[in-house]
Structure 1
């Protein structure tokens, strides 16, 4: 697979990820899950170590999913910049007859 194809796929993936990040239902779902997990975590019995650990992990997983989506968006922006640079280099080569 060429670099341009790989970069194009990264850009397309970033667009889809940005749509998810901007999606109100998904944003609300993340917020609701974190709130519910936090409330349940605080309500655990003092001797329920396993329950607290599972809820703590659940809270962190929600954050990791959000972070992953944001990383995909950031990678797509970098890929877009690389594609732009590749196009500019190709145009300069073409203009000066280097091709």
Structure 2
């Protein structure tokens, strides 16, 4: 019985030694997976920022187009106002004569 205990203790000690390199392997895999995770996060952030930049470009172009449309409409209204003023002055002149 003592001999079986002794052989069991020796096998147990060997198995513990076999497990230790696996722990090192797990630690290295954890470090490697953390690096992969960080690289993935960085790529995701870059992709997100590119999408935001494109969205901002689109918004800027829309705003510029709207400004141009508003300027055109304002110019048209100014022209209409001037034409109405001219008609009013012509009417006043005709009524005074």
Residue of structure 2 aligned with 1:90, choices 52, 66, 69:
52
Bigger relative contact order, structure 1 or 2, given CA contacts below 8 A and separation 6+? 1
Higher Rg of the two aligned structures: 2
State the SS of the aligned residue for 2:59.
coil
In structure 1, the gaps of 5 or more residues are 1-44
Runs of 4+ with >4 A deviation: none
TM-score w.r.t. length of structure 1: 0.50
- The residue that corresponds to 2:37 in the other structure is 75
Structure (1 or 2) with the greater helix fraction: 2
- The residue that corresponds to 1:51 in the other structure is 13
RMSD: 1.9
Paired residues, number = 54
Shift of 1:59: 1.0
Post-superposition Cα deviations, 1:40-93, rounded to whole Å, max 9, x if no partner, equal: xxxxx9761100111111110011101110110011111100000000000011
Q: Distance in 1 between matches of 2:29 and 2:38?
A: 14
Shift of 1:96: 0.1
